[in-house]
């Protein structure tokens, strides 16, 4: 929500119905910005991804990479067990990609992650098992080392060495 602050963007998914981390009825009875429990959890979530320095900044004024990080915080606010990430590094600068890779590495400890990504360096840094598709067909499956050594993958994605 571009016209809302970073912290407001995190408060909203905290109040999701059906098992949110904060009761949705709190929204009905109190203004969110004055609700200590909502704010405490929102600030913790922002801190987890390193976005706690400017909680009042309008999300529309964030860089592309920061907006992607905010999307991740909003997702994490719903307490998912599994993350389905579709090209989380797309359009990011190398510095932003490095920060996102570090974040996803920390999330691997507590979440199952299915990652669709074309940044092969990020894939090799993050994945335990890789499935490589070409035109919708799996051409290889294995560990990062097995995929690096696979000739069909090298031809398709990594270039001949």
**Active site positions, annotated:** 87
The DSSP code for 160 is -
Measured in degrees and rounded to the nearest 5, phi and psi for residue 58 equal -65, 135
Distance between the two ends of the chain, CA-based, in angstroms? 45
> Alpha helix (H) ranges present in the chain?
6-14, 25-29, 36-48, 64-76, 94-107, 120-126, 144-149, 151-153
- What's the CA gap between 23 and 19, in Å, rounded? 8
């Amino acid at each position: 929500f571009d016209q809302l602050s970073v912290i407001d963007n995190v408060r909203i998914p905290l109040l999701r119905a059906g098992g949110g981390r904060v009761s949705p009825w709190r929204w009905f009875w109190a203004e969110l910005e004055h609700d200590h429990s909502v704010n405490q959890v929102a600030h913790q979530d922002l801190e987890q991804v390193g976005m706690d320095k400017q909680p009042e900044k309008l999300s529309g004024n964030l860089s592309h990479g920061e907006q992607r990080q905010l999307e991740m915080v909003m997702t994490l606010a719903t307490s998912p067990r599994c993350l389905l990430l579709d090209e989380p590094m797309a359009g990011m600068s190398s510095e932003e990609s490095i920060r996102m890779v570090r974040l996803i590495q920390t999330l691997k400890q507590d979440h199952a992650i299915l990652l669709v990504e074309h940044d092969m360096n990020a894939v090799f840094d993050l994945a335990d098992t890789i499935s490589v598709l070409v035109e919708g067909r799996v051409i290889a499956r294995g560990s990062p080392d097995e995929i690096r050594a696979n000739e069909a993958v090298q031809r398709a994605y990594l270039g001949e060495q």
